[in-house]
Amino acid sequence: MRNRAFYFGVIPCLFIILFSYVAQVGAQSRMSDKDVVNMMKNLVQDTKQFQSLFNSAISKSTIRKTSQEKDAKATVQSFRNQAGNMLQVFQSKKKADTTLPSVLDSSQKIDKWLADVPLNSSVTTQWAKVKAELATLSVQFNVPAPAR
């Protein structure tokens, strides 16, 4: 009889402890809103630096003084504006489901420019940093990158 009472007391306690631990582990994998805001702020800063490097490099590239140069610079400017807008929307609504897909779509356009027009390593290094931040945000909001 004592064993039966022991099991009825210990087993529920073990389940409570196990499930509370699992809940804590699951909660730790999600970034806090503050962390998301900081990552988006980093993205905006890094995008600004990328734009500066990109514009300088594209002005010295094979497409300089063409409409392609103008289009490439406009694509990067649009991307920067979208990243800033995404931050503002997230700060006010705590959502990125409407803004993140357009940022990711624009990033793919920039990927195409970078594939078509060879630029220096500082541009590609800075772009890799921006892409890593986008990948993290994409995972956090469960928004897949657009298909190529």
CA distance linking residue 113 with residue 75, whole number of Å: 9
Q: Which residues contact 19 (CB under 8 A, 6 or more apart)?
A: none
pLDDT given at position 20? 52
Find, among 101, 115, 106, the residue nearest to 47 by Cα: 106
Find, among 66, 33, 34, 73, the residue nearest to 50 by Cα: 73
Cα radius of gyration rounded to whole Å, the chain: 23
For every one of its 148 residues, what pLDDT tens digit does the chain have, with 9 covering 90 and above?
555 554 455 455 444 554 555 444 444 577 999 999 999 999 999 999 999 999 999 999 999 999 999 999 999 999 999 999 999 999 999 999 999 999 999 999 999 999 999 999 999 999 999 999 999 999 999 998 766 5
Spell out the alpha helix ranges (H) of the chain.
2-28, 33-58, 67-93, 100-116, 121-140
pLDDT given at position 5? 52
